[in-house]
């Protein structure tokens, strides 16, 4: 059973019960959001150990999230409660097509104020994979530096690093800063997992092969590009050759909610690496979990508890 460590910001999430403008919605259903939470739930349900690092406000949202993570058998020993700052939350619309509208209430949250001192508390001993996204590092200079220093620490201990850029332009000071910093961090990853549109934003290229080559030429071991219903494209470097694999996605009659699909895909890659699956089987698993995610309204409730 492999062990994974991740760091991020979990949030309370309220999903509108009815379609339309959120200012007119009277009732919402409560869930938990956060890319790293989704990955943590998926990895844990597939039988692997995962430790989640974050700060939560000492408030009902924070307690709700903490209890949820423990119920999912996620290691919460490095979660800290902060009495000075709140837990973030978000509102999500209910739409019939396309991406839902999401409104964040996270600036100034407990995770936003995560300190560099967390670095000294984190030990990568007995860890197989450090999974990071581009979300926490987008909040401010302090969180960016913390994530970067943790990655360098993991690299020194020869820990495999998977990096999903998970672009959130509204969280960044500017698009240019987002591109610069995501690409700066990407060069430290062993496996980089952008969506095809994210790859276009980050590199200026539209073809998946060109996007992959952009990062392989910067020393990354492997690039696996999410292409939605079209599936995925993987290109990676072995000791003596470059390998390429394209895998078709799964056909769905109905897409309910696209949020969380990329996180489900990451679950497939992370667990596939832990289990030493073939690249083809790993990407097929990633495509399958991503497809399951878009079939449900919540971000993590319907993640698999087995891959049979």
Report, as residue numbers or ranges, the catalytic residues. Answer: 263
Instruction: Please say whether the beta carbons of 59 and 13 come within 8 A.
Output: no
Q: How far apart are CA 93 and CA 180, in angstroms?
A: 31
Q: How far apart are CA 132 and CA 96, in angstroms?
A: 31
Q: How far apart are CA 227 and CA 265, in angstroms?
A: 11
SS3 state of residue 90: strand
The beta-strand segments (E) located in 110-210 are 129-133, 160-164, 191-192
Q: What is the DSSP letter of 229?
A: G
Q: How far apart are CA 61 and CA 174, in angstroms?
A: 29
Q: Which of 227, 192, 240 is nearest to 212 (CA)?
A: 192
28-33 and 11-19 beta bridge pairing: antiparallel
Give backbone dihedrals phi and psi of 213, rounded to 5 degrees, phi first. -65, -35
Q: How far apart are CA 216 and CA 57, in angstroms?
A: 40
SS3 state of residue 2: coil
Tokens of 64: 């709700």
Total Cβ atoms within 10 A of residue 147:
24
Instruction: Please say whether the beta carbons of 183 and 153 come within 8 A.
Output: no
* 65: alpha, beta or left? (left if phi > 0; alpha if psi -120 to 50): alpha
């Amino acid at each position: 059973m492999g062990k994974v460590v991740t760091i991020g910001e979990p949030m309370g999430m309220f999903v509108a019960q009815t379609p339309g403008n959120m200012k007119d919605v009277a009732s919402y259903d409560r869930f938990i959001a956060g890319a790293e939470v989704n990955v943590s739930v998926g990895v844990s349900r597939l039988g692997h150990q995962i430790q989640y690092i974050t700060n939560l406000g000492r408030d009902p949202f924070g307690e709700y999230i903490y209890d949820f993570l423990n119920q999912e058998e996620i290691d919460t020993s490095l979660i800290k409660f902060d009495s000075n700052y709140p837990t973030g939350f978000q509102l999500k619309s209910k739409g019939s097509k396309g991406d839902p509208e999401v409104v964040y209430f996270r600036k100034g949250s407990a995770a936003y104020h995560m300190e560099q001192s967390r670095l000294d508390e984190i030990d990568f001993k007995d860890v197989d994979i450090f999974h990071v996204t581009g979300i926490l590092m987008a909040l401010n200079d302090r969180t960016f530096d913390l994530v970067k220093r943790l990655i360098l620490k993991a690299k020194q201990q020869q820990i495999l690093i998977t990096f999903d850029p998970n672009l959130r332009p509204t969280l960044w000071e500017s698009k240019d800063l987002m591109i610069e910093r995501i690409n700066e961090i990407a060069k430290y990853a062993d496996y980089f997992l952008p969506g095809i549109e994210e790859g276009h934003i980050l590199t200026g290229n539209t073809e998946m092969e060109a996007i992959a080559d952009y990062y392989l030429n910067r020393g990354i071991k492997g690039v696996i590009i999410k292409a939605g219903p079209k599936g995925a494209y993987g290109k990676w470097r072995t000791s003596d050759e470059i390998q390429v694999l394209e895998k078709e996605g799964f056909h769905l009659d109905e897409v309910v909610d696209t949020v969380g699909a990329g996180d489900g895909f990451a679950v497939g890659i992370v667990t596939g690496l832990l289990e030493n699956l073939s690249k083809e089987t790993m990407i097929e698993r990633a495509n399958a979990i991503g497809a399951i995610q878009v079939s449900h309204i919540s971000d993590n409730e319907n993640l698999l508890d087995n891959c049979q």
